[in-house]
Amino acid sequence: MKLIMENWRKYTDEKPVVSEGVADLASKAATMASKAASVPERGVKWFQRKLRSGRITPFPAGKGNWLEITVPYSDADVENVSEDVLFFVAIVDKLAEEMGIDEPTITSGYRDPRGQAKAMYGVWLEAQEKGEGDGYLVWLYGEECKSCAPGAGEIAAQVEDIFFGYPDASEAIDRAAKLLEKNLISNHMLQPGEAVDYRIRGQTDAIKVIEAVFDRGYAAGEAIKERFPPHYHATVNSITPAGIKYLQTPNDQPDPTPHA
């Protein structure tokens, strides 16, 4: 992979462009307020998070040869992710255009320990509302996620105990964050981050695109369809030479790499 990246830098010195914006803040705030009202015993601090949204250009404009090379993101850190993740995002965007599917929105990138604790709290809280909170995090991190850190299920069990034991959302998240400062549980937490999430709501065909990246051999990693909240998680271990070649091929030309 190192050789690929060195060759890539010879191809272009341009860096991904991240544009911070305030799109849809009003609707997001209203949604959060509604959720907070539905669980008053948990308080509202969890829902009062900084909203980051905008578009990212993960692949140099004019070099990728597909129509729209910008990707929407919402409440996500897309600056502190690996180069492989950025290439993955570009491949997903290009594939979506090729397949005639609306480009999916990124909803999570890099997470520090508190960001990971917040994300897990949100998953746990929604699972609780659906009657599946007890043991869901343990199953998700310990069984469903094959790319999660060793022992992730045991760490998730400790996090779940914290959430059940502390009714105040802020205190629960603080305590979980302290635990996660010393325990890696997700590739989102690596520095730089090696995972990215995409929204499902309104973009139910997105999983076809994300799975196609791995099925065609453009990247090594894992795609997971999660229920709480509905989203797609992708762990990106590496981008293959076939993935780089695909990015360099215009969409009006055949993919140079054979695939099923």
* pLDDT tens profile 207-238: 899 999 999 999 999 999 999 989 999 999 99
- My answer on whether 193 and 87 are in the same domain is yes
Q: What percentage of the chain carries pLDDT values higher than 90?
A: 60
**Containing domain of residue 129, as a range?**
112-185
- My answer on whether 176 and 51 are in the same domain is no
| Domain contains 154 | yes
Residues 6 or more apart whose CB falls under 8 angstroms from that of 80 comprise 109, 110, 191, 192, 193
Taking each helix axis from N to C end, the angle separating 206-215 and 83-99, rounded to the nearest 10 degrees, works out to 120
- My answer on whether 6 and 95 are in the same domain is yes
- My answer on whether 95 and 147 are in the same domain is no
Residue 161's pLDDT is 97
Q: Which of 135-139, 182-186, 205-209 is predicted least confidently?
A: 205-209
Report how far residue 123's alpha carbon sits from residue 47's, in angstroms, rounded to the nearest whole number: 13
> Hey, what are 8's tokens?
């890539």
Number of domains observed in the structure of the chain: 2
Residue 15's pLDDT is 53
Looking up tokens 């599946």 gives 132
- My answer on whether 104 and 51 are in the same domain is yes
Phi, psi of 121 (to 5 degrees): -65, -40
Among 168, 185, 202, which residue terminates a domain?
A: 185
Residue 47's pLDDT is 36
Residue 250's pLDDT is 84
The amino acid that residue 147 corresponds to is S
- My answer on whether 105 and 126 are in the same domain is no
Identify the residue with better confidence: 84 or 33: 84
Among 136, 157, 185, which residue terminates a domain?
A: 185
- My answer on whether 116 and 137 are in the same domain is yes
Among 160, 185, 210, which residue terminates a domain?
A: 185
- My answer on whether 7 and 52 are in the same domain is yes
Residue 59's pLDDT is 84
- My answer on whether 57 and 97 are in the same domain is yes
- My answer on whether 98 and 194 are in the same domain is yes
Residue 205's pLDDT is 85
| Domain contains 259 | no
Q: Is the pLDDT of residue 41 over 70?
A: no
CA 178 to chain centre: 22
Report how far residue 32's alpha carbon sits from residue 239's, in angstroms, rounded to the nearest whole number: 36
**If you count them, how many residues does the chain have?**
260
- My answer on whether 136 and 174 are in the same domain is yes
